[in-house]
Chain A
Amino acid sequence: MSWGTIVQRLFGTKGSKDEAKGRLQIVLAYDRLGLSVEQIEALHKDILETISRHISIDTDPGLTLKGKK
Chain B
Amino acid sequence: MSGHAIVITSGKGGVGKTTTTANIGLGLAKHGRKVALVDADIGLRNLDIIMGLENRIVYHLVDVVRGRCQLRQALVKDKRFPHLSMLPASQIDQKESITPEQMRDLTTQLKESFDFVLIDCPAGIEQGFRNAVAGADEAIVVTTPDVSPVRDADRVIGLLQQSLGEPQLIINRMDMDMVKRGEMLNQQDVLDILAVRLLGLVPDDEEVIIAGNRGTPVILNDHSRSGKAYDRIARRLLGEDVPIPELDGTGGRMHRLGKMFFWR
Contacts and interface: CB of A to CB of B under 8 A. Distances in A.
A66 B49 contact: no
A57 interface: no
Q: Identify the interface centre among A20, A26, A30, A31: most chain B CB within 10 Å of its CB.
A: A20
A16 B210 CA distance: 6
A47 interface: no
B49 A27 contact: yes
Contacts of B124: none
Contacts of A17: 213
A31 B73 contact: no
Interface residues of A, number: 20
Given A3-B257, A4-B260, A16-B210, A23 B215 contact: yes
Interface residues on B, range: 20 to 34
A16 B92 contact: no
A67 B49 contact: no
Contacts of A37: 58-59, 63, 68-69
Contacts, number: 44
A12 B157 CA distance: 48
Contacts of B49: 23-24, 27
Contact of A7 (B59, B68, B73, B260): B260
Contact of A19 (B213, B253, B260): B213
Contacts of B215: 23
Nearest to A34: B92
Interface in B229-244: none
Contact of B213 (A4, A20, A65): A20
Interface string B68-87: 11000100000000000000
A24 B54 CA distance: 10
Interface string B35-56: 0000000000000010000111
B59 A3 contact: no
B109 interface: no
Contacts of B91: 30-31, 34
A48 to B, nearest CB: 16
Given A16-B214, A27-B49, A66 B58 contact: yes
27 contacts: A3-B256, A4-B260, A16-B210, A16-B214, A17-B213, A19-B213, A19-B214, A23-B213, A23-B215, A24-B49, A26-B55, A27-B49, A30-B91, A31-B91, A34-B91, A34-B92, A37-B59, A37-B63, A37-B68, A37-B69, A65-B58, A66-B56, A66-B58, A67-B58, A67-B59, A67-B69, A67-B73
Interface of B: 49, 54-56, 58-59, 63, 68-69, 73, 91-92, 210, 212-215, 253, 256-257, 260-261, 264
10 interchain residue pairs of minimum CB distance: A20-B213, A16-B213, A67-B58, A16-B210, A34-B92, A16-B214, A27-B54, A66-B58, A19-B213, A31-B91
